Amino acid sequence: MAWIKKSRIILPTKTTLCKKAKSMSAQLKSNKGISLIEILVAISIVSIALVSLMGLFGNYIKIAKLQEKNIEAINLAQEAIETIRAVRDESWTNISNLTLGAIYHPAKQGTPQKWILASGTETINEFFLREVIFENALRDVSGDIVESDGVADPDTKKITSTVCWNSQTNCTGAKDEITLITYISNWK
């Protein structure tokens, strides 16, 4: 035979229920305060993250614009060198008669138009300055091109093509510049 235990159910009194309700209400009110603080902290963290991302995006745009200017400047400097080759192909005297160390730039002249080398610095798109300087190419006793302590080769010239921006009148001391150096020779 199994024993059955009798149990009593005790119902809470009205006073006990009111005390528990007040206690729960106080807990909810204190939790609301904590929730408000948690929301403010979360908003602050999200705001800081967004400001940081905006700063990174701004830096990305600056770098992209600088790269765009660099690429355009490289193309303009290379274009000047290609133009000089066309002038050389027309006649070596177009190159050999230039004043060494003077500043030149490519220009079109005549009818039909052909490339020439005009004196001075060229302004392109009201932003870039382009200039080309010719120097003697120096060769050592082996016939190799050297920077110094060599003999000037009358059939070879050193070309320095410079494109700068953020400058007033010329590329000397310009903050932003691209310089390409090459040699051309009288191959005919």
Task: Report the number of distinct structural domains present in the chain.
Answer: 1
Residue-wise burial string across 94-130, b where 16 or more C-beta atoms lie within 10 A, e elsewhere = bbeebeeeebbbbeeeeeeeebbbeeebbeeeeebbb
On whether residue 22 sits in a domain, the answer given is no
Query: Across residues 25-48, what is the average pLDDT?
Result: 76
Query: Across residues 158-183, what is the average pLDDT?
Result: 85
Quick: pLDDT tens for 43-71. 999 999 999 989 888 888 888 888 888 99
| 77 confidence band (pLDDT: 50, 70, 90) | very high
- Whether this prediction's pTM lies above 0.75 is answered by no
Phi, psi of 181 (to 5 degrees): -120, 135
On whether residue 50 sits in a domain, the answer given is no
| 34 confidence band (pLDDT: 50, 70, 90) | low
Phi, psi of 39 (to 5 degrees): -65, -45
Domain range for residue 102? 58-185
On whether residue 47 sits in a domain, the answer given is no
Residue 179 has pLDDT above 90, yes or no: yes
On whether residue 45 sits in a domain, the answer given is no
Position 46 scores a pLDDT of 92
Residue 36 has pLDDT above 90, yes or no: no
On whether residue 49 sits in a domain, the answer given is no
Q: How far apart are CA 16 and CA 28, in angstroms?
A: 18
On whether residue 169 sits in a domain, the answer given is yes
